[in-house]
Amino acid sequence: MNKIPIFEMESSNLKATGYDKATLTLRVQFKSSNVLYDYKGVSSELFNEFMQSESKGRFFFTRIKGKFEFEKN
């Protein structure tokens, strides 16, 4: 597993996130689980939009989930 630092975020669904620009990997942890999910192929531009969005959960569920392959860690 890649060492991608994560940090807590304000969201009703998401607990923490992190991003590795070298591998275009978005790491997400949901409040309902301690499992980490790595979404592959997420551009840095999309990650920046995600971080600047008013609703992180809504952005994640409409723009990322189901659109990128992921691995559980």
Tokens 């997400």, residue?
28
Residue type at position 72: K
Q: Is residue 51 part of a domain?
A: yes
**Confidence class of residue 2 from pLDDT cuts 50, 70 and 90?**
low
Q: Is residue 17 part of a domain?
A: yes
Indicate the number of domains in the chain.
1
pLDDT per residue as tens digits for the range 24-44: 999 999 999 889 999 999 999
The number of helix segments (H) and strand segments (E) in the chain equals 2, 5
Q: Is residue 1 part of a domain?
A: no
- How many residues in the chain? 73
The model's pTM is: 0.92
- 50-63 in b/e burial notation, b at 16+ Cβ within 10 A? beeeeebbebbeee
